[in-house]
Chain A
Amino acid sequence: MPELLDAAIQRPNFVTFILLLLAGLYICVSHPNLIKKLIGLYLVQNSVIFYFVTISAKEGATVPVLLDPTRPVQAEAFVNPLPHVLTLTAIVVQVATLGVSLGIVSAINKRFGSFDEEAILEKLQ
């Protein structure tokens, strides 16, 4: 147990990632308000992006642009661009998901006049 705690303290980013993920999941499950559920979903998605950024961070490295082609390339001086591109794509995908989900929620609100899941279920009965 002390080793686990020690390992956790040395990796604040991973702890943050897990807290964000769990908080998001909890909000998804516990809140009856549809918009708040979406916020929870967004937190979960962002925690994964945060994880991607964490694993691709590199101290003392710079953007992968080769300024002087005559000198040999020092791989350790540059950041791997791929995870950042993945992050960017994942954010775009999330925005699309958020767009569709807000569209559906606004249609629900127009039809049932409420954002509350329990109230909507009562009206459906």
Chain B
Amino acid sequence: MTQSLPALVFMVPLTAAVAMPVVGHWKRSACRPLTVAATIAMAVLAAASLFSVGTFGPVRYALGGWQAPLGIEWIADEVSATMAAIASVVGLLVLGFSGALGEASLSGRTVPYHSTVLLLLAGVVGVIYAGDLFNIFVFLEVVSLAAYALVAVPGGRALLSAFRYLMIGALATTFYLLGVAYFYALTGTLNIADLAQRLPGLLESKAAVGGIAFILIGLAIKMALLPVHAWLPDAYADAPDSAAPLLAALVTKAAILVWARILLWGIIPANADAEQILYAIVSGLGIVASVGGALLAMRQTEIKRIFAYGGIAHIGLVMVGLGQASAKAAAGALYYLVNDAVMQAGLFIFAGVVAWRYRVRAVDDITGAGIRNPWVVAPLVIAAVGMVGIPPTGGFVGKWNILLGTMEAGNPFAAAALVLTTLLTLAYFAPVLERIFRSQRMSRMGEPRGELGWPVRLSMAVPAALVLGLGIFGDGLMSAFLRVVGGP
């Protein structure tokens, strides 16, 4: 039973997503309860999977009973089980928030919206667990298709953003597939663990270099690494408020988790010589992305765009962690990734609540909106503290370990970039926080609409609680992550 938990976590949202059009045809109002029920079931199963992994050790699930390396393998270790649990929790939070916005915010597309959200969650779970290069490609495409559709929901301007996102996203997955094809031509295997066995001695070959390059380019576009990030701010800013948190928290994180898996489990164990160059490239890309993303975030005037660029900077930080020859930095990077998913969900839900209740989308308008509700202000402050990385938040634990790792690996530039990004993060959050605390109602803004019901309060409070929890009780999880990446 515990062996099949990863597959069950995936099957529940997929089945519900496929059943949704039928259910919606029968009774439109049944869509939302069904989606919420499926996501709760998924969260329970994911929590059970995390618990069983923590108690009995990692699970390697062979789909259809075909053993790896011939069959497709799903790996549930502490990292993937945690990420799957976080994904289902984020799904629940977004549903709690989107219920308050009502059908009007979805332009009446209730049935497709709920179906697509479930499809996205199922795809993300697949990407998280899959230990097979081609399987990852298929699930990346499932996630992306759901994401394009969600961006396009409001119509109008969002349609063009969705189309641009689709063009660049589809090219990215094609590049990834090309990289996989190179590896397959070279080694004859698609399983990541098996790849590590067969690659030694082959890494100098041009096919291996091409494979790594194409996989990195494809995944870099998917994770919005700085020079190829241009699709992200438009897509997230134009996406409906009820979908943006889901996209921001999960889609880019899934891509970088794939890169971490391929790098740490497939390529790095296989060789000794090319390692240094690869580390230098990954770390260099990360440094550029983290500092550049934070600098761009400072120039934004729209709340959602600030958070979007903040997310781009954090993807860079994770890359910096992955690019150090140190298990501590790698574990810290993965921990930061989990954290960042929670923080991004919290921030984009905040942006959605502010846009819905106070009709504010630009930072300058916050001053006049009179945002006094502690359920809105407190989670923002906690998320901001987490983004900057001040203890006792999870952001601090991750960043601290990455920093220690850069010292261990003797990489002062990476350490400097980390500190600089932290300061810049403080700089772009300061105006938002300052305006929140000065916030007074001005007559032209109108009264805040709607009441903050308990689902919305919960979807604001839970990310904040998770950010704090990951910081205060994170030691056990952090040492588990260290074990997974092969550290002491």
Chain A residues with CB under 8 Å of chain B are: 25, 28, 34, 37, 41, 44-45, 48, 51-52, 55, 83, 86, 89-90, 93, 96-97, 100-101, 104-105, 107-108, 111, 117, 120-121, 124
Contact = CB atoms under 8 A, between A and B. Distances in A.
Contact of A45 (B148, B160, B174): B174
A108 B178 CA distance: 30
A108 B181 contact: no
B473 to A, nearest CB: 40
B235 to A, nearest CB: 12
Interface of B: 134, 137-138, 141, 145, 148-149, 152, 155-157, 159-160, 162-163, 166-167, 170-171, 174, 177-178, 181, 184-185
A40 to B, nearest CB: 9
B177 A104 contact: no
B116 to A, nearest CB: 10
Chief secondary structure at chain B's binding surface:
helix
A104 B181 contact: no
Nearest to B155: A111
A28 B167 contact: yes
B157 A124 contact: yes
B106 to A, nearest CB: 15
Contact of A97 (B145, B152, B155, B185): B145
Contact of B184 (A34, A55, A93, A111): A55
Contact of B159 (A25, A93, A104): A104
Nearest to B148: A100
Contacts of A52: 181
Contact of B181 (A28, A44, A45, A55): A55
Given A55-B185, A104-B152, A48 B174 contact: yes
B163 A28 contact: no
Given A48-B181, A100-B145, A101-B166, 19 more contacts: A28-B171, A37-B167, A41-B167, A41-B174, A48-B174, A48-B178, A51-B178, A55-B185, A89-B134, A93-B138, A96-B145, A97-B141, A101-B148, A104-B159, A104-B162, A107-B155, A107-B159, A111-B159, A117-B160
A100 B367 CA distance: 41
A51 B174 contact: no
B184 A44 contact: no
A25 B172 CA distance: 12
Nearest to A100: B145
A51 B181 contact: yes
Contacts of B134: 86, 89
A22 to B, nearest CB: 13
Given A97-B141, A107-B152, A41 B170 contact: yes
Most chain A beta carbons < 10 A, residue from B134, B162, B170: B170
Contact of A104 (B157, B166, B178, B185): B166
26 contacts: A25-B171, A37-B167, A41-B167, A41-B174, A45-B174, A48-B174, A48-B181, A51-B181, A55-B181, A86-B134, A89-B134, A90-B137, A93-B141, A96-B145, A97-B141, A97-B145, A104-B148, A104-B152, A104-B163, A104-B166, A107-B159, A108-B159, A108-B160, A111-B155, A111-B156, A124-B157
B213 to A, nearest CB: 14
Nearest to B141: A93
A18 to B, nearest CB: 11
A25 to B, nearest CB: 8
B163 A101 contact: yes
Nearest to A51: B181
Contacts of B145: 96-97, 100
B166 A100 contact: yes
Which 5 A-B pairs rank lowest in CB-CB distance, beginning with the nearest? A55-B185, A108-B159, A93-B141, A48-B178, A45-B174
Nearest to A85: B134
A25 B171 CA distance: 9
A48 B141 CA distance: 15
A44 B170 CA distance: 10
A67 B141 CA distance: 37
A64 B473 CA distance: 55
A120 B157 CA distance: 9
Contacts of B152: 104, 107
B58 to A, nearest CB: 26
Given A28-B171, A37-B167, A86-B134, A96 B159 contact: no
Most chain A beta carbons < 10 A, residue from B134, B156, B162, B163: B163
Contact of B149 (A34, A89, A100, A111): A100
A83 B183 CA distance: 12
Most chain A beta carbons < 10 A, residue from B155, B166, B174: B174
A96 to B, nearest CB: 6
B163 A34 contact: yes
